Chains A and B, each alone.
Chain A
Amino acid sequence: MADITLRVNGAACTGSPEARKTLADFLRDDLNLTGTHLGCEHGVCGACTVIVDGRAVRSCLMLAVQAAGSEVTTIEGLAPDGGLGTVQQAMWDSHSFQCGFCTPGMVMQAVAFLGDHPDADERQIREALSGNICRCTGYQSIIDGVLLAAERSASPDPAAPPNASPDPAPPNREH
């Protein structure tokens, strides 16, 4: 056990996870942030993707103690006002998902990627999301959602749904 302090979704928190506890299990079990899902626990499926210090990481491959001192954003922290961020809103509008299990990881990956590549085209988006497995959709609706989010971010539409808030810029991009 080691005491760690980190910031999760903008709030300071402390914990004493076992050294072997993954960041994913720490978020889910210790912090009750169950939006982060575990799909394979060996770093392939991407369902557990969260943003740590501005970068998308697989929280199943990172130990909680490694996140000490870091800034972590999970799906619950994307739109703290209870609404939807730009990517989330665009994915709703695009009928992106079905069962929803891959969704948090897919959204976090897309948010991190668009943050760094706001002008990405479809091929780049497909490559960026190719480490996130969705078994339901055939991906097209997800890609359409990310493209729509990119388009809306490029030219903010005053008529956009009122509950769509800009995605928070991942902090500490320079890590």
Chain B
Amino acid sequence: MAAIAAERYTGANIKRSEDPRILTGAGRYVDDIKLPGMLHAAFVRSPLAHALVLSIDVSAARALPGVVAVLTGAELEEITVPGPDALMALIGGEGPTPEFTLLATDKVRFAGDPVALVIAESRYVAEDGCELVEVEYEDLPPVTHASFALDPSSPPLFANLGDNIARPHTRSEFGDVSATFADADRVMDFRISVHRHQNVPMEGRGCVASYDTGPGVMTVHAATQSVHVTKIAVAMRLGMEQDKVRVVAGDIGGSFGLKIGASREELAVAAASRALGRPVKWVEDRGENLTASGQAREESFDVRAAVSNDGDLLGLDVKMIIDTGAYPGLGVTVPAIVEEMLPGPYKLAALGFESTAVITNKATYVAYRGPWASETFLRERILDVIAKDLGLDPLEIRLRNVAPRTDPPAVMITGRPLPGVTTRESLERIAQLVDFPAFRRRQAEARERGRYLGIGMATFIEAAPGPRSPEGPSGPLGIESMRLRLEEDGIVALFTGQMPHGQSHQTTLAQIAADEFGVPFEQVRVVVGDTDVVPFGLTGGSRSATMTGGVALHGARQLKAKVLDFASHLMEASVRDLQITDGRVWVRGDPASAIGVGEVARRAASGQFGSGVDASLEVEAAFDGGEGGWSGGSHCAIVEVDVETGIVTVERYVVAEDCGALINPAIVEGQIRGGIAQGIGAVLLERSAYDEDGNCQSATFMDYLVPTACDIPRIEIEHLETVALDADVNFRGVGEGGMIVAPPTVVNAIEDALSPFGVRIYEQHLPPARILELIAAMSAD
């Protein structure tokens, strides 16, 4: 016992405990589940964007050997409970609610809308069965553009709404908008658009639903960001008591916002399992994923900016239209977040914001990594345009407008305070790292040789979890819970409602708890993915670093206090004199007294202590986010545009990031790089495309292009010294920032590269053909 380790795991690049199984093929994803008697599901999907369903003939499919059942939309309605989308019911969507059936019944609303479910002995036979289902449709005019959806003459997708408005027009004003615009030196107008693109986790949606008819218990093996939200959705739709539904999950192959709760298909599969009394598996194929799982963004903004001749951004007036697709869900909640976040880290004094959410014949809007990110895109885009018009440089205009770090902190005009925000520092740091003057010289030389280099910067903040507010917890979704227990083998078990799908919680939470409790990292076990044993929780919104990191820290502290209290009886020493290090409890100054924490737990379980001694070495911990805070940072890209081919190459990408105290730098950097890759993909490659008839044009990986190893440069990351706001918990979320700020960073760089042509860019998707169009349009003038 001479050497008691004092090193800290928190802050170190501890190798992930997830990796040995993942690297050897021993990960357990939902498609790896095999249950006795398990059947396989496949969906018949609409080939049309908008049509009446006149008839469905399933007789040939039912007659196919190996097909066990075919369920139509109408039949599923008979065995389920009608209701709104469970997630929307949970987070309280206001306004009219469209009718919501698991499968289309009288009408199909996007190409890919499921109309029937075939259940068979194998997926191959289930798909054979789908081929035999005959559906007779009558075409309706497709509503494929938001502009048409806004037209009262467009055919309503949902009869009970009467129009195609998912959330009606609203307007708010912060500050004195009219006076700000009246007094401004100049008012500039922009129309900014963001295209439809999507999550594309490498593993699509899927589940295995297994209903046990005896006890009437439904077990769903899910790929989800929250086993509890999935459980609530299943219980609601199937009309079951919640305690009769158990949702479990193993490894999950990415999500990025897609797998929250349970989709219509997953609920249909659960209903089918109950009807048949057998386990049913459904795992979507890539075609289903790209056409029917959901898509994100597709927003447009009419922006008026009040600007001083010195480059002060005084006010914004923004009209937002969001295209929420065919079965509106989370999309209707996005404009409110965009509105709140629009000022960003800047001292914007006036904001007018109006929005309308529309319904179209496209796949449903789903959350995708920073769902409100368009606010950063439009703000960081127009700042560059304003700077160009005023002859300022992009760093100068940002530094001029950024809110000062004061005490008490500056407050966004929309209401949230900005404590500890280091935007100025991160902007100045990337400018140093990149050396703008040197780049400008190189750029000028390159142009003389007919090569077009450009540099772009952008900055963001993210409420991860957000500053503490007087009204309540700083974290979105309120408090975070965790149960912690010292096991008799000395393992400290953490039961968390987080459902990691790449975030490495099994490593990071163990680092924090190991340090706080005083055991080796390997002696902490993070238990996830079973509604029977983990508390409520959800992985998303970049909230887990603070919320779950915080509850792991405080929970480990509480458990340690409990263990020490018990050990004081066991060791006949004062709690004050006891400490736990390296998995052993010992009397300070007397290493020979040390006993392993497992031995302490075994003695506690022995029952030899009377009722006066609390021998339960388990705690229920909760954390409200403490002082919370913002994540943020500034990014800079250097690109080259080949003006002959339109191909953009990202040559260099530099990040100065402040996400508070780092739990595991390698994991933080992985989150940042992954988000940036998705942002680069969104600009240069990815688009969920529809033709005029509403046919999805991006149904394969040959049409929906995601970045490869050749498209993404090395990304240089520097972590800034952070401002500690909380006494203990200063870890802040880093999941979404890369995806939020990379698109404006790259677009700003492209516009800079094309500045000799006078190109101005007001859109986000810039594949080669579009680059050539932009150049040609200016050359033609």
- Give the interface of A toward B (CB within 8 A): 18, 20-21, 28, 32-42, 44-45, 47, 74-76, 78-79, 84, 88, 91-93, 95, 97-104, 107, 125-127, 129-143
Contact = CB atoms under 8 A, between A and B. Distances in A.
Contacts of B673: 137-138, 140-141
B251 A100 contact: yes
A143 B709 contact: yes
A45 to B, nearest CB: 6
A33 B32 CA distance: 9
B286 A41 contact: yes
Contact of B254 (A34, A40, A131, A135): A135
A75 B24 contact: yes
A60 to B, nearest CB: 10
B505 to A, nearest CB: 11
A104 B20 CA distance: 12
A100 B18 contact: yes
13 contacts: A20-B124, A28-B31, A34-B28, A34-B29, A42-B286, A45-B286, A98-B670, A99-B201, A99-B501, A125-B709, A138-B677, A139-B677, A140-B712
A94 to B, nearest CB: 8
B23 interface: yes
Most interface-central of A21, A93, A100, A142 (chain B CB within 10 A)? A100
Contact of A136 (B16, B24, B29, B670): B670
Nearest to A47: B202
Contact of A139 (B200, B254, B702, B709): B709
Contacts of A92: 15-16, 19-20, 23
Nearest to B708: A130
The 9 closest A-B pairs by CB, nearest first: A35-B25, A101-B253, A100-B22, A138-B673, A99-B502, A75-B25, A98-B502, A138-B677, A44-B701
Contacts of A36: 25
A86 B701 CA distance: 31
A35 B254 CA distance: 16
A42 B670 contact: no
Nearest to A134: B202
A88 to B, nearest CB: 4
B667 A95 contact: yes
Given A42-B702, A92-B15, A99-B251, A76 B710 contact: no
Interface string B535-563: 00000000000000000000000000000
Contacts of B20: 84, 92
Interface of B: 13, 15-16, 18-20, 22-29, 31-32, 34, 124, 200-203, 251-254, 256, 285-286, 501-504, 666-667, 669-671, 673-674, 676-678, 700-702, 706-710, 712, 714-715
B712 A99 contact: no
Contacts of B669: 141
A35 to B, nearest CB: 2
Nearest to A45: B701
Nearest to B15: A92
A141 B25 contact: no
B29 A101 contact: yes
A31 B18 CA distance: 24
A95 B708 contact: no
Contacts of B31: 28, 34, 37-38
Nearest to B289: A40
Contacts of B124: 18, 20-21
Given A38-B31, A126-B710, A91 B252 contact: no
B202 A95 contact: no
Contacts of A84: 20, 23-24
Question: Interface residues of B: mostly helix, strand, loop or mixed?
Answer: loop
Contacts of B706: 133, 135
B25 A104 contact: yes
B708 A133 contact: yes
A135 B25 contact: no
A136 B712 contact: no
A78 to B, nearest CB: 7
Given A36-B25, A75-B25, A99-B203, A41 B674 contact: no
B202 A45 contact: yes
Contacts of A75: 23-25
A36 B26 CA distance: 10
Contacts of A33: 25
Nearest to A128: B709
Contacts of B15: 92-93, 95
B25 A98 contact: no
A126 to B, nearest CB: 4
Given A36-B25, A75-B25, A84-B20, A135 B709 contact: no
A102 B708 contact: no
Contacts of A34: 25, 28-29, 31-32
A21 to B, nearest CB: 7
A39 to B, nearest CB: 5
Given A42-B702, A88-B23, A95 B200 contact: no
Contacts of B708: 129-133, 139
Nearest to A78: B24
Most interface-central of B256, B673, B674 (chain A CB within 10 A)? B674
B240 to A, nearest CB: 30
A28 B254 CA distance: 20
Contact of B674 (A39, A104, A137): A137
B32 to A, nearest CB: 4
B24 A76 contact: yes
B702 A44 contact: yes
Contacts of A140: 673, 712, 714-715
Contacts of A39: 202-203, 286
A160 to B, nearest CB: 14
Given A95-B16, A107-B23, A133 B712 contact: no
B715 A88 contact: no
A100 B715 CA distance: 21
A102 B504 CA distance: 16
Nearest to B122: A29
Contacts of B34: 32
Nearest to B675: A138
Nearest to B16: A95
Contacts of B501: 99
A137 B254 CA distance: 11
B24 A100 contact: no
A71 B32 CA distance: 23
A76 B124 CA distance: 25
Nearest to A39: B202
Contacts of B712: 138-140
Nearest to B667: A95
A143 B666 CA distance: 14
A50 B400 CA distance: 55
B25 A40 contact: no
B395 to A, nearest CB: 25
Given A76-B25, A126-B709, A139-B677, A97 B286 contact: no
Contacts of B254: 98-99, 101, 135-136
Given A42-B700, A141-B673, A101 B201 contact: yes
A86 B34 CA distance: 31
